[in-house]
Structure 1
Amino acid sequence: MAEEIELRGALSHLRVIEIGSSAATSYCARLFADFGADVQKVEPPAGDPLRSSAPLTSSGQSPWFAFLNLNKSSVIVDANEPEAIMRLTSLVEDCDILIDGRDVASADCPSIDVAAICQRHPCLIYLEASWFAHDGPYAGFVATDTTVRALAGLIKLAGPADGPPVHAPDFQTGILSGLWGFIAATSSVLAIMQGGGGRSWSLSIFESCLTASEYLMFESVARSDGIRRMGINRFWPGFPLGIYETKDGWLGVTTVTPAQWWAFCDMLGLSQLRDDPSLVFGKDRLPDAERIEGQFMPRLRERTAREWFAEGMKRKIPLVPVPTISDLLGDSEKRERGAIVPVRFGNEEGLTAGSMLRLTLTPPSRGGSVPDPGEQRAVASKRRRLADTGSPSSKSMDTRRQPLYGTRVIDFSMGWAGPLCTRTLADLGAEVIKIEAVQYPDWWRGVDRSPAYVDGQMYEKTLRFCIMNRNKSGITLDLTRPRGCALAKGLVAKADIVVNNYSVDVLPKFGLGYDVLKSLNPRLVMVSMSAFGTNSIHRECRAYGSTLEQGSGYPGVVGDPDGPPVMSHTAFGDPVGGLNGCAAVLIAMVHARSTGQGQFIDLAQVDCMIPFAAPWITMQSVGGAAPKRYGNRHPQFVPHGCFRCAGEDNWIVIAAADADMWHRLASLIGRPDWAVDVSLNSAEARRCIENEIETVIAAWTLSRDPEEAMSELQAVEVAAGVARMPIELLTDRQLKSREFLQQTERPFIGVHSQPSIPIREDAGPVAIRTPAPTLGQHNGEVLSTILDLSHSDIAQLVKENIIGTAMLSEGGLLGQTDCDGGD
């Protein structure tokens, strides 16, 4: 059985039906296909509308559609045929998972009674995606990828300080929400394997985008005055944190700690900056950015990006060359790792983004083909129904328990990406035990070790830590000591999953590498969420979420044609890496539950950003030309842009996604002549007068409050979204109506809001059960119940500072007694 699954794919026993047309559901289904599932994509005779999604190759093929639909089969169902409903119902009744994007675009899919099918098929997993869900003030809004991102706070903070916000092309929301849909469906597979029943999930694409916004949503509470649009590649709270020109190529720079800033200055020979006591912290350098850049930018132009990268590696500075699409296509390591794979679509062959979920025992497919309409992919004839895979001993299990109930996770992660992975597992019911140390707690508690910070227990008052670590237990273990490592091994031996986002050598150095841990627990699933991968030539590179974005190639397709590569305003690589890590772990758990075999997952977080550039990768691999950058315009929708409204720095994103929407927009803005001019029905015809169209729209929006403008546009079904600041999401009427922000109470900070996850089984959000742990809060409970330690054992550990509940100051670290003799 294990060998068969390994050959065919970890999810090869699953049959997935995909209906409707949305990037979110297509990407969710593609992730299943990557690991061998039989994915049947239902299309109308004319094909999925996404087959026409621009940019298009010279033969009219869509690289975006190709990326989303690799290795699926296509089933044509004509809604006009008498047997259409019966045929589609039969297909769904024979599947394990139904992925439904009809609320985004129906694609002429026949109407079927999903509720009745679920009654007849109690193990069916059903996922329905929509832009905003079916309730709340935005429920009826028409939308595009970019208008949703505007409302989600992902646009307004990027761009010139005094000009319009600059936003990335479409292709973000489908990937973020597709990952969330996959997490919901795969966790449900695990629940059925444990004897549970089917589950029905709703997925809000808008709320999925908040995964990337939530950090600044809550940081804004205390720091709203400092968070504003500051210019291209310049962002709160640190500096320098951006992309800079060199002698050859662009260089991504991130300096977070004082040591990194000093090393950066030393590297450039700028001792006067290094020795200035007023510039130690990034937040203090940011107001003086112009002067500081004036000193270091000329120095950066003296050497190439690759030369600076090598120098940064020596000095442990987070620097990275910003690759072009051509660089990505020529990167042999990306090809070897499967981050970029061959694809055949139509009569063309090229390259696209592969699966970033690098399971080492049951790896994903390495490329493949995209189905023509009605084309079936060959699949193995033998198939077990998911309903037949449940554990016989657990058939009486409460099917309303959370899907990951009974799964134990040991969490060796810090910051954002790793803790988001484990928070998601915890939200879905897993028992997550977070391991910190009093010597080195999670750096999202704060890196200040001054006596005032430590004695005031300020490390217990950082909201970002509390948001990312809810629903977890927390213990402390000094892993630099043999006794601490032995206790960690004891916990791992009784766990299902280990998550680690340290640098690649940290856990192996402590004797906690996968080779050691799998000997203690052969069914263990362990994920390493390093920046570049465990075997990468760049494995030693220091990295943050910004570094991951800079090194992915994505900034090179954002912005104006003659401008620099443009970054997002948030550390985009962190949440993207966290969701991919969670998805990978769930696939490995499906395999482990089927076979008893654990495995190692080598997740390179920089690769997780590559799918956002997938269409441009394929375009260049097929046509050879560098991708066109559109600025705030769009390869398919005309008009499309970000327009100023009345008031200070108020903006709205507007898009005409089809001819009918264009007619309604033209009439609304006072140009009925355009609305009836049939020569302007095509987007390409309108592109010839795009400047004139934008001028008229800009005059119309400038006289209106942004909320008023959005209401008027949405009233006539034109896609529009106010460009919101992250802090405005805390009072957003859609989120309030949906109870997206939940209240919880925790020592040191009291009652505070927590964001929900964007997937729901019921009308209300998935509940937050417990607040984030205080440092070492559950030492006694975990060590006594899981490892059977006595009170005296635990007291001795406290005495030796192997465990504790108070962070050590700098002085405490220096004065700590060496107790390495105990075990």
Structure 2
Amino acid sequence: MPRPPDAPLPFAHLRVLELGEGVALSYLGKLFADFGAEVLKLEPPGGDALRREPPLVESGEGAESALFGWLSTNKRSLTADLAGHAGLERARALLPGCDVLLDGRAPAAREGTRLGLDQPHLVAAEISWFGESGPYRDLAATDAVVRALAGVFACTGPAEGPPSLLGGIAGAVTGALAAFNAVAAALWSGAGRRLEISLHEANIAVAEYQAAQSVTNPEVERRYGVNRFAPSSPLGVYRCREGWLGVTIVTPAQFRAFCEMVGLPELAEDPRFVIGLDRLRHADALEALFAPRLAARSAEEWFAEAIRRRLPFAVVPEMAALLATPTHRARDAFGTVTLGAARFEGPTLPQRLTRTPPLPGGPAPRAGADDGRLPPPASRPRPTLKPAPLPLAGLRILDLSMGWAGPLCTRQLADLGAEVIKVEACQYPDWWRGVDPRPAFFAERRYEKDVRFGILNRNKAGITLDLATPEGKALLKRLVRDADAVVENYAREVLPKLGLDYAALSAERPGLVMLSMPAFGLEGPWRDARAYGSTLEHASGLPTVSGAPDWPPTTNQLAYGDPIGGLNGAAALLVALLHHRRTGEGQQIDLAQVECLFPLAAPWIVATSATGTPGPRLGNRHPTQAPHGAFPCAEQGWVVVATQDDAAWPALARTIGRPDLAGDPALATAEGRRAREAELEAALAAWTRPRAPEAAMQALQAAGVAAGAVLWPSALKRDPHLAARGFWQVVERPHLGRHEQPSAPFREAGRGPYPVQRPAPTLGQDNAAVLGGLLGLGAAELARLEAARIIGQEAVPVSERRARAPAG
């Protein structure tokens, strides 16, 4: 699906100023540049520090970073020393011609030197590790430290520890996506805004599942071992005759189909293996039975069988195989990057808009290449609108999605002020209300008591429609006529069978934007493959570069693909809506969720393309920071320590009472420390072991060393920094009572978080308000529809449902 050469670039009218350093800032700028914006990257003299990060390639003028090149495609480079008056003045002189300012300087560096305050048209985004306030504001941080403090690592790795730390840039990419959504929403509002984005708070989206589930299911907050996660099993990576297979089993029907697939149908009747948690408790015994069967065939053969049986499995590719995968090549998932004389490939932005796709790769600028030859910006009227309280006020979205990824996408938009109408069926409610078939589940309305559903569906209205009936379909089409967008994550064939695909809905609403979120894309040989968030991670190749060298490919999170897919979905929808606002054109977005994880794997993808190898698996070590890892603390706690640069090393050594190491010239560089890394890790562990994680973190931070306690997701609710920032908001909801909601990771600068306007809807709660108020149905008609179970406010028990395939 190569990009048509005449396809419009939706941001071609925008000029963006990117100043500061860091992967999150660079990826945020890339999201604008690859959609056509003129992004001016303001680098310090000598170039951005990322230019010196591995892997290095020969550019013709020395060795430069391939990762930097991928992050900087289609940008312009200017140089200015922002630590001095002249550099700041140069930045100020550029701002009248810019639409967006992306400011990645540390909060302390921005104090007294804020830019753009005199430009009311400007959308300014201030991005930092921990936000502009709170006790962590000025802490030293790295990607791993922030994710540790966000609850991302605690549940992953061997039961006895240490927690397994996924390396690379996952935290920065996650934060950049949240920042992009806030900036794009501000652009949609048509008014200048100043935004604050916390990368720490953005990464809490990855840990929300465990934080929510731990309220009623504390077993989710344990490390069960490599490739094991509550509440289900198997959920991991297994050796085959050739290659590795990612396996995720959740429902009883899936387990039965799996047992039949491997020739062990009797296991489905074994009382030890009936439900997911029981299978997890007996995982050793279960794996001993099925693992030899998987080893009898290749991963490719098992994957083909899984597609036929509709099981959520995937081949787990190494990076070279990922780059060569025909399905991904056909979708243009990788594009060529040029950095001087160097050419290599990196992931294309996954926001695959059918009418306005992003550029696949492109040139990265040499440092200062545009000094003295920057063309003036196009002259155009500037907005004079007064900002509404929420930037997406007036936008209406129909949400047909279920589970995690789709609802997180629409929650981001609802938090930003969009009117989101969630559509369920009484016969098949959102599966995060619960999938228990027993009668008591329905009689006691337990489907209204799941905190996960409550957290993902706040700020939305909720209606019910049975879309398998002609009347239900007709009512949905009437709602579409006044909607700006539709979001759906059904299996690929469902909406076409119902007569509700994009062609049908856009006939009702010309210019409609519709986001579809298939696992592997709407077309191609894998289009019918089923997937959970874990399946997507397996298929992305991330497990092959994470974990210790002697481990099997290692799953890093219960379901990385879901929150990352949701954040990318919101970004894609906003790009399409901004294009619609300028042109009136609608489009369908084919968001293959597996591609959303490729940017997280970008360091290894780029390294493989540029150098032929992704590099060794490092476990909890780091390619440029030494020592680095998770170190044991008192009461079975852990602290992540990252020696972020050579200057931090002597401070770390003195803090742990080893001045001899601080003064050793052989340890002055990361290369020297890596030669003795095991010795240094032992010295650091001896110091951390008797201390509480928070105490170790505070002592190291006082010395300027990046460190963060490894927090369990539930502990986030007691975190002093999040409390100081008002991150947890208490709301009341029928059946669920008082519960805590995590705030959005973006806010208007100088203000508190965007408020939670309303709790998640109960089933069909807004039928009268939406179907009566918007469509004008009278009370008698609503009563007739409810009697026919086309709408309703109670879930239909399984025993009373019509025989048909579920919608999702």
CA contact (8 A) 1:449 1:808 kept: no
Name the counterpart of 1:155.
153
Q: Secondary structure at the match of 2:398?
A: strand
Q: Distance in 2 between matches of 1:6 and 1:380?
A: 23
Match of 1:97 in 2: 100
Alignment CA distance shift 1:81-1:276 (3 Å)? closer
Change (3 A) 1:789 1:269: same
Change (3 A) 1:539 1:713: same
Give the residue type in structure 1 aligned to 2:606: T
C-alpha distance in 1 between matches for 2:347 and 2:744: 26
8 A contact 1:22–1:104 mirrored in 2:
no
Change (3 A) 1:792 1:384: farther
User: Where does 1:671-710 land on structure 2 (aligned, <5 Å)?
Assistant: 671-710=658-697
Q: Separation in 1 of the partners of 2:161 and 2:387?
A: 53
Task: Note the C-alpha offset of 1:56.
Answer: 3.1
More displaced stretch, 176-185 vs 704-713: 704-713
Aligned residue type for 1:627: G
Structure 1 residue aligned with 2:229: 235
SS in 2 for 1:335: helix
Looking at structure 1, the residues matched to 5 and 270 of structure 2 have their Cα atoms a distance apart, in angstroms, of: 60
Verify: 1:750 aligned to 2:734, yes or no.
Answer: no
Instruction: Report deviation, 1:112.
Output: 7.6
**1:387 is matched with which residue?**
382
Q: Is structure 2 residue 581 aligned with structure 1 residue 593?
A: yes
Q: What displacement does 1:335 show?
A: 2.7
CA deviation vs aligned residue, 1:517-562 (integer Å, no higher than 9, x gap): 1121112110101111101311111111111111111111101223
Aligned to 2:597: 609
Whether the 8 Å CA contact 2:9–2:356 is kept in 1: the answer is yes
Q: Contact between 2:747 and 2:753, CA under 8 Å: does it hold in 1?
A: yes
Matched, 1:777 2:775: no
- 2:358 matched residue in structure 1: 364
Q: Would the alpha carbon gap of residues 290 and 94 (structure 1) be closer, same or farther in structure 2, given more than 3 Å must change?
A: same
Judge which range, 728-737 or 768-777, deviates more: 728-737
Residue type of the alignment partner of 1:755 = P
Do 2:236 and 2:555's aligned partners in 1 also have CA atoms closer than 8 Å? Answer: yes
Q: Structure 1's 57 and 764: CA in aligned 2 closer, same or farther, altered over 3 A? A: same
Instruction: Report the secondary structure of 1:601's partner residue.
Output: strand
Moved more, 157-166 or 202-211: 157-166
5 Å-filtered alignment, 1:218-233, equals 218-233=212-227
Stretch of structure 1 that moved more, 61-70 or 363-372 = 61-70
Matched-pair contact (CA < 8 Å) for 2:7–2:355: no
- Residue 173 (structure 1) aligns with: 171
Higher mean C-alpha deviation, range 359-368 or range 53-62: 53-62
1:796 counterpart = 2:797: no
Q: Which residue of 1 aligns with 2:64?
A: 61
Letter in structure 2 aligned against 1:64:
L
Task: Work out the CA distance in 2 between the residues paired with 1:265 and 1:55.
Answer: 44
Question: Contact between 1:359 and 1:588, CA under 8 Å: does it hold in 2?
Answer: yes
- The one-letter amino acid paired with 1:751 is R
Match of 2:726 in 1: 739
Per-residue CA deviations over 1:620-678 (Å, capped at 9, x if unaligned) read 1121134321111000101111111122x211111111111001001112221222233
Q: Which residue of 2 aligns with 1:549?
A: 537
Q: Which amino acid aligns with 2:93?
A: S
> Secondary structure of the equivalent of 1:764?
coil
Q: 1:450: how far off?
A: 1.6
Q: Which residue of 1 aligns with 2:304?
A: 310
Counterpart position of 2:390 = 402
Letter in 1 for 2:227: N
Task: Give distance in 2, aligned partners of 1:557 and 1:87.
Answer: 42
Tell me the equivalent position of 1:300: 294
**SS of 2:647's equivalent?**
helix
Bigger shift: residues 64-73 or 431-440: 64-73
Partner of 1:670: 657
Q: Could you say what secondary structure the match of 1:222 adopts?
A: coil
Residue equivalent to 1:336? 330
Match of 2:29 in 1: 29
- 2:251 — aligned with what? 257
2:443 to 437, 455, 458: 455
Correspondences of 1:589-668 after superposition (within 5 Å): 589-647=577-635, 649-668=636-655
Whole-angstrom distance in 1 between the partners of 2:330 and 2:574: 24
Q: Structure 1: which amino acid aligns with 2:279?
A: R
Aligned-pair identity (%): 47
Residue 542 to residue 622, structure 1, CA distance change in 2 (3 Å) = same
Change (3 A) 1:472 1:699: same
Cα distance between partner residues in 1 of 2:781 and 2:474: 14
CA distance in 2, matches of 1:629, 1:710: 26
The verdict on how the C-alpha distance between 1:82 and 1:205 changes in structure 2, with shifts beyond 3 A counting, is closer
SS in 2 for 1:565: coil
SS in 1 for 2:604: helix
Q: 1:82 to 1:408 in 2, by over 3 A?
A: closer
Residues 13 and 386 of structure 1 are in contact (CA less than 8 Å); yes or no, is this contact kept in structure 2?
no
Structure 1 distance, partners of 2:82, 2:722, is 36
Q: Which residue of 1 aligns with 2:432?
A: 444
Q: Supply the distance in 1 between the matched residues of 2:376 and 2:99 (Cα, whole angstroms).
A: 16
Paired with 1:347 and 1:626, the residues of 2 have a C-alpha distance of: 21
SS of match in other structure, 2:540: coil
What residue number does 1:185 align with? 183
Instruction: Please give the root-mean-square deviation of Cα atoms over the aligned residues, in Å.
Output: 2.0
Give, in whole Å, the separation in 1 of the partners of 2:170 and 2:628.
Answer: 16
User: In the aligned structure 2, how far is the partner of 1:282 from the partner of 1:720?
Assistant: 35
How high is the TM-score relative to the length of structure 2? 0.96
Q: Does the C-alpha gap of structure 1 residues 408 and 665 become closer, same or farther in structure 2, counting only changes over 3 Å?
A: same
The Cα of 1:570 is off from its aligned counterpart by 2.3
Distance 1:210 1:385, change over 3 A: farther
| Partner residue in 1 for 2:476 | 488
- Rate the CA distance shift 1:112–1:383 in 2: closer, same or farther, 3 A: farther
| Equivalent residues, number | 796
For 1:351, which of 329, 345, 358 is the aligned residue?
Answer: 345
Q: 1:522 aligns with which of 500, 504, 510?
A: 510
2:133 maps to which residue? 135
Pick closer, same or farther for the CA change 1:105–1:581 going to 2, 3 Å.
farther
Gaps of at least 5 residues in structure 1 are: 817-823
Amino acid of the residue matched to residue 760 of structure 2? A
Give TM-score, length-normalised by structure 1. Answer: 0.94
Q: Equivalents in 1 of 2:334, 2:76: separation in Å?
A: 21
Counterpart CA distance in 2 for 1:536 and 1:552 is 17
Q: What are structure 2's unaligned runs of at least 5 residues?
A: none
Following superposition, the deviation at residue 569 of structure 1 comes to 2.9
Give the distance between the partners of 1:225 and 1:511, measured in 2 at CA: 42
Amino acid at match of 2:718: T
Deviates more, 1:568-577 or 1:430-439: 568-577
- The reply on whether 1:121 has 2:119 as its aligned counterpart is yes
Give the structure 2 partner of residue 74 of structure 1: 77
Residue 346 of structure 2 aligns to a residue in which SS? strand
Over 3 Å counting, the alpha-carbon distance change for 1:61 and 1:561 in structure 2 is farther
CA gap of 1:492–1:588, structure 2 versus 1, over 3 A, is same
**Offset from partner CA, 1:392-419 (integer Å, 9 cap, x none):** xxx5xx5232100000000000000000
Deviation at 1:280, TM superposition (A): 2.1
Alpha-carbon offset, residue 86 of structure 1: 2.4
1:538 equivalent in alignment to 2:536? no
Q: Distance in 1 between matches of 2:114 and 2:698?
A: 33
CA distance in 1, matches of 2:298, 2:555: 20
Instruction: Compute the displacement of 1:734 (Å).
Output: 1.0
